[in-house]
Amino acid sequence: MERIPILRMGRFLLVTIQVDMHDRLALALQDDLTARIVRDGARGVLIDISSLVVDSFIGRMLATTASMARMLDAETVLVGMRPAVAITMVELGLALPGVRTALDVEKGMEMLRARVGPGAETAGHDSDP
Amino acid sequence: MIPTREVAELGRAEDILKVRQRARALALEAGFGLVDQTKIVTAVSELARNTVTHGGGGTATFELLEEGGRRGLRIAFHDEGPGIADVELALRDGYTTCGGLGLGLGGSRRLMTDFEIVTSPGKGTTVTIARWR
Amino acid sequence: MREQRAAVTLRSDLLSDAELERQSAEFLAIFQAGIQGEDIREIAGPEWEKARDFLADFGRSRGQRGFTPTETATFVFSLKQPLFSLLQKELEKEPAILVGELWTISVLVDKLGLFTAECALVGREEIIRRQQAELLELSTPVVKLWDRILALPLIGTLDSARTQVVMESLLQAIVDTGSSVAIIDITGVPTVDTLVAQHLMKTVAAARLMGAECVISGIRPAIAQAMVHLGVSFNEIVTKATLADALRHAFAITGVTVSRSAAA
């Protein structure tokens, strides 16, 4: 099964969800992310959801991922939510409690830096095998 | 536009994805805008999941509609599962019997223009949703 | 053809002679095929399918081009005169049968004509709906007030359809301009009912989900009173009385300070 790649940007991790995820892929991502946070000592996670349609299952998975990350001392920011998805989520009644959001990766990083401190950000890109 | 009617199996979790993708393709074909497409795909996802998780598997039937110049898309989810005893309760946000968020039924109703549910204990469940342009 | 041209409702501004001839010839051929069937007064049957398709297309396109349903249906009704004349000549010696046939033809042409009129109506409605949508889009201007700050001055009454379009435009503008704050000013909105209030709240919630904050400004005393009486509360949304206050707040959120330079 293919897995969603996780990129490292200094003390932060960046995940871009390009595909319509099926359940197992979503849960695999959760596992991989938590493992990487510990392995890399990451202080922040950016999840790019600009290609994603969020239903209640995915919404819950994103919220629990953020909770898990927080327990491991990393802040999560969701970026790139499209207006159509936001409108649908509001209509559905889906809120993402405790999950921060930003318009794009740049603003997301700003947000993380503000909360977590700059740290030494190198341009190292490790992706998961 | 060719009137279409197709049936998809909803047996396992992987089928939810296929049904979502079919919904998106048909919504696109019917000419729905991005917001409506997203609403349809999301409602379909919720109900497909219900069918697999609560209904023990079933089918999703897609129909492209045309009436008086207006186009629409109708999807009927059917399972031969336990059925729902108290529909009012099930429609209430937050009510869930399996640790989900409980937004599926009520949420789908809010996202679509037409919503109809036929169910009773032991007789399975059929939820039909439709959205018109 | 003579009848077609003689028909008062020719609209030569919308249709060329050549086109009219072509369509008439096509329809005549289809009509001829149709009347070979069993019961020629019932147009729902399969032998009339081609005719229905032709008339549906014909009707819709005429309607979309601006012909009225009456003008469009006349295309079909003009068939009566020549058919009647023909029948009269053929059945001159048998008046009883003639009357029967005339009636049959009359009923048939009426049904076809009405069907065509309906299709023309549908065509017109499609145009109207499209124009309404365009109008809606044009009347929701989003203004960039500052770096990362947008304003949406709403003017006039808000109905459900308009509010939805407004919501979508604003959210898209937030993405396009990378704004962190959107000020929704309702100074120009005379009344706000629960439905509109709900839509506004949904817009704010959606913007928040995307990572932007909304401020609602321009709430006049009358509206504030009305909303409290309706039981609406904007509890988690920042509201300001004036656009100026809202701008000040937006500057604070985005970390902008404004200072007055000493007078020269």
pLDDT at residue A118 greater than cutoff 90: no
Residue closest to C157 by CA, chosen among C125, C129, C184, C193: C193
Answer yes or no: do C168 and B35 touch at CB < 8 A: yes
Q: What are phi and psi for residue A105, nearest 5 degrees? A: -60, -40
Whole-angstrom distance, CA of residue C258 vs CA of residue C264: 18
| Cβ contact B117:B127 at 8 Å | yes
| Cβ contact C180:C141 at 8 Å | no
Sheet holding B58-67, edge to edge: B5-10, B58-67, B70-79, B125-132, B114-119
- pLDDT at position A34: 95
Burial of C47 (0-12, 13-18, 19+ CB in 10 A): middle
Looking only at the bridges linking them, the beta strands covering B5-10 and B58-67 are antiparallel
The verdict on residue C264 lying in a domain is no
- pLDDT at position A127: 45
SS3 category, C261: coil
Point out the domain boundary residue: C121, C137, C153: C137
Quick one: DSSP state of residue C211? T
Same domain, C234 and C116: no
From residue C207, give the alpha-carbon distance in Å to each of A83, B3, C173, C180: 8, 38, 11, 9
The verdict on residue C167 lying in a domain is yes
Same domain, C77 and C176: no
Q: What are phi and psi for residue B98, nearest 5 degrees? A: -145, 25
Point out the domain boundary residue: C87, C118, C137: C137
- pLDDT at position B48: 94
- Contact list, B68 vs chain C (CB under 8 Å): 122
**Please, which pLDDT band fits residue A35 given cuts at 50, 70 and 90?**
very high
Same domain, C204 and C219: yes
Same domain, C173 and C86: no
Whole-angstrom distance, CA of residue B121 vs CA of residue A87: 34
Same domain, C95 and C190: no
Same domain, C10 and C119: yes
- Over residues B77-98, the pLDDT tens digits come to 999 988 888 888 888 877 777 6
- Over residues A49-72, the pLDDT tens digits come to 999 999 999 999 999 999 999 999
Give B75 to chain C, closest Cα distance, Å: 24
- Over residues C103-138, the pLDDT tens digits come to 888 888 888 888 888 888 888 888 888 887 777 666
Amino acid identity for residue B64 in this structure: L
The verdict on residue C248 lying in a domain is yes
Per-domain residue ranges of chain A: 6-116
Residue B60's domain is classified under what CATH number? 3.30.565.10
Answer yes or no: do B68 and C122 touch at CB < 8 A: yes
- Over residues A88-116, the pLDDT tens digits come to 999 999 989 889 999 999 999 999 998 87
Amino acid identity for residue C219 in this structure: I
Whole-angstrom distance, CA of residue B110 vs CA of residue B129: 10
Count of Cβ atoms closer than 10 Å to residue B110 Cβ: 17
Whole-angstrom distance, CA of residue A102 vs CA of residue A84: 16
- The arithmetic mean of pLDDT across residues C13-17, rounded, is 56
Point out the domain boundary residue: C110, C137, C164: C137
- Contact list, B35 vs chain C (CB under 8 Å): 168
- pLDDT at position B47: 95
Interface of A with B in 81-120 (CB under 8 A): 82-85, 87-88, 91-94
Answer yes or no: do B69 and C168 touch at CB < 8 A: no
Range of the domain at B71: 5-132
pLDDT at residue A14 greater than cutoff 70: yes
Which chains are adjacent to chain B, needing at least 3 Cβ pairs under 8 Å?
A, C
Is the CB of residue B68 less than 8 Å away from at least one CB of chain C?
yes
Q: Among 1.20.810.10, 3.30.70.1110, 3.30.750.24, 3.40.350.10, what is the CATH number of A6-116? A: 3.30.750.24
Same domain, C122 and C213: no
Query: What is the reported pTM?
Result: 0.73
Range of the domain at C189: 143-254
pLDDT at residue C2 greater than cutoff 50: no
- Contact list, A82 vs chain B (CB under 8 Å): 34, 38
Answer yes or no: do C207 and A86 touch at CB < 8 A: yes
Same domain, C186 and C101: no
Nearest residue of chain C to residue A88 (CA atoms)? C206
The verdict on residue C195 lying in a domain is yes
**Tokens (6 digits) for B100:** 């989900």
- If phi over 0 gives left and psi between -120 and 50 gives alpha, with beta otherwise, what is residue A117? left
The verdict on residue C259 lying in a domain is no
Whole-complex ipTM: 0.87
- Contact list, B69 vs chain C (CB under 8 Å): 60, 122-123, 125-126
Interface of A with B in 46-65 (CB under 8 A): 53-57, 59-60
Same domain, C166 and C115: no
Same domain, C91 and C173: no
Q: Based on the structure, what is the number of domains in chain C?
A: 2
- Over residues C142-201, the pLDDT tens digits come to 899 999 999 999 887 777 778 888 889 999 999 999 999 999 999 888 888 788 888 888
| Cβ contact C250:C220 at 8 Å | no
Same domain, C166 and C57: no
SS3 category, C120: helix
3-class secondary structure per residue, A51-84: CCCCCHHHHHHHHHHHHHHHHCCCEEEEECCCHH
